[in-house]
Structure 1
Amino acid sequence: MRIIISPAKKMKTDTDFLGCRRLPQFLSESEALLALLKKLSDEELKSIWKCNDAIAALNVERIRNMNLTRSLTPALMSYEGLQYQYMAPGVLQTGELEYLQQHLRILSGFYGMLRPLDGVVPYRLEMQAKLDGAGFDSLYEFWNRKLADQLFSESGCILNLASKEYSKCISPYLGADIQMVTCVFGQQIGGKVIEKATPAKMARGEMVRFMAERQIGCVEDIKGFTGLDFGFADGLSNESTYVFLQKSHGRKG
């Protein structure tokens, strides 16, 4: 089984807490994207990033000085989004980190696909960013089926905890021999299951930690997840979609 998750926009450098295991698998592709980004003007980069002036300035500086083999942080420790906060990788035990190194894959517009302990530098490049180059009109075209082929070579069972923006790199290439289960973390409102971004991100992080702590090897065993007051909704789920409903709606988000 392989678990796929999205990256986060906010990143940090931490070269002291935990050592990197290896370089990313698709580093040559990242080098090609970096070369393309370096050719763009500050305004063109800001347009691609869709961000304010302060964030643009920070990331322009990163692009201009970026070296993909120095001052590296393990990917799992580098991302700072809500999902990663609830995953809490900094307090995981060695065996739990080894579980994630084997089973968890982080999809990325810039790096393609990362193992948790791959060394990365902070970057900003969402998969749906309007970036084009020789032979491609989008990052989806740039990566094509490379990420899916690598993922399927590792396992025939995929647990999808990624957003639609990122799972779109994988889902079009599914074959009959691959099982992909997508988790929905929602609330039942007016007879419909509504998935809100904030609690869904929190739940995805909690689910990854739940799996690491229990060393889960069979996708069906995640049905026991009860973090953040979510519970498996058998009647709303099927073989390809597991629905978890949050019992209390009074939470923020």
Structure 2
Amino acid sequence: MQLITAPSKTQEFNGRLSDVFTIPHCIRTSEQINNSLRAMDKEGLSQLMKTSPKLTESTYRRIHDFVTPFTLKNARQALFTFQGDAYAAIEAESYSEIQLQYAQNHLCILSGLYGLLRPLDLMQPYRLEMAAKLEVNGCKNLYELWQKEVTALLNSRCTMDDEQAVVNLASAEYSRVIDKKQLKAKMIEVVFQQEHKGKLKTIPIHSKKARGLMIHFAISNRIEKTADLKNFDLDGYSVNKAESNDLKWIFRKR
């Protein structure tokens, strides 16, 4: 069973939490993307990323500071780097070595710059959404560039699992990069709902936290089977069996 999730714009690079690391599978493609970004001026970057002058300046600096090879001196493990609502709920700093190894084998972070990151893959700071209309290597956008490579990596990871399933805990912007026709495992969509003004709704900020909590639940308990993941009950959530099926789980907050 593989869990997929999205990255976050907020990133933290201070402090070393582990000496164990891996290098991203797709680092060569990442270098090609960064080279394409380096060829742009600040105005072009601002238009591509729809950023303010301050954010554009920061992004421009990151692009030009990007350097390989990645080491613990110039990069940090992905799971410790990403911040925000979902990652606060994941609580990466709380895990034992055994739990981190489980995460390394079962969690995939989809990324506009890195394609697919494992939790212990080193990364450098960046800002690049998957939906950015950046042309690289003859591909008209990042979806076209990454789809084959990311799907192949996900298929490869699934072959090592007892149960070949992908649990989608990413936003639509990121999960869209996966070619479902070529995916050799079933993909399960997870929906989190809350009652708001008398109606059941999916509220983005609550869904982000819930996705992080489900990832935390999986890592903490080292869950291998989707049937066990369905027992997720943190923060008052429970699965609605009547409206769920094998490929779509509906969780509601009590």
Question: Match of 1:162?
Answer: 170
1:96 aligns with 2:99: yes
Tell whether 2:153 aligns with 1:145: no
Deviations 1:40-71 (A, max 9, x none): 01011112222222222111111112114241
Runs of 5+ consecutive residues of structure 1 not aligned to the other structure: 248-253
* Residue of structure 1 in register with 2:216 after alignment: 209
Which segment drifts farther, 190-199 or 80-89?
190-199
Q: 1:237 to 1:80 in 2, by over 3 A?
A: same
Distance 1:2 1:94 in 2: 19
Distance 1:43 1:131 in 2: 14
Name the structure 1 match of 2:181.
173
Tell me, in whole angstroms, the C-alpha distance in 2 between the residues paired with 1:237 and 1:192.
18
1:16 maps to amino acid:
R
Pairs within 5 Å for 1:25-44: 25-44=25-44
User: Does the 8 A contact of 1:83 with 1:201 survive in 2?
Assistant: yes
Aligned to 1:84: 87
**1:1-253 alignment, distance < 5 Å:** 1-14=1-14, 16-68=16-68, 69-70=70-71, 71-155=74-158, 156-175=164-183, 177-188=184-195, 193-247=200-254
Counting aligned pairs with the same residue, the percent is 31
Query: Aligned with 1:172: secondary structure?
Result: coil
One-letter amino acid matched to 1:169: V
The runs of 5 or more residues in structure 2 that have no matched partner are 159-163
Question: Greater shift after overlay, 192-201 or 218-227?
Answer: 192-201
SS at match of 1:224: coil
TM-score w.r.t. the length of structure 2 is 0.91
User: Partners of 1:186 and 1:144 in 2: how far apart?
Assistant: 29
Amino acid at match of 1:90: E
Aligned CA RMSD, in angstroms, stands at 1.7
How far residue 20 of structure 1 moved from its aligned partner, in angstroms, is 4.4
Distance 1:232 1:144 in 2: 31
Q: Following TM superposition, by how much is the alpha carbon of 1:135 offset from its aligned partner in structure 2, in angstroms?
A: 1.3
Task: Give how far 1:35 is off.
Answer: 0.4
Matched residue, 2:161:
none
What do residues 134-153 of structure 1 show as CA deviations (whole Å, max 9, x unaligned)?
41111001113211111012
Residue 14 of structure 2 aligns to a residue whose secondary structure is coil
Deviations 1:158-188 (A, max 9, x none): 111111111111153345x521111111125
The answer on whether the counterparts of 2:148 and 2:179 sit within 8 Å (CA) in structure 1 is: no
Structure 1 residues 99-144: Cα deviation after superposition (integer angstroms, max 9, x where no partner): 1011001100100001100010010111001211341111001113
- C-alpha spacing 1:109/1:20, structure 2 compared with 1 (3 Å): farther
Going from structure 1 to structure 2, the CA distance change for 1:223 and 1:144 (only over 3 Å counts) comes to: closer
User: SS state of the match for residue 194, structure 2?
Assistant: strand
**After the TM superposition, which parts of structure 1 deviate over 4 Å for at least 4 consecutive aligned residues?**
188-193
Deviates more, 1:113-122 or 1:19-28: 19-28
- CA deviation after TM superposition for structure 1 residue 191, in Å: 8.5
Contact 1:19 1:73 in 2 (8 A): no
SS in structure 1 of the partner of residue 251 of structure 2: strand
> What is the CA–CA distance in structure 2 between the aligned matches of 1:173 and 1:47, rounded to whole Å?
33
Q: Secondary structure at the match of 2:180?
A: helix
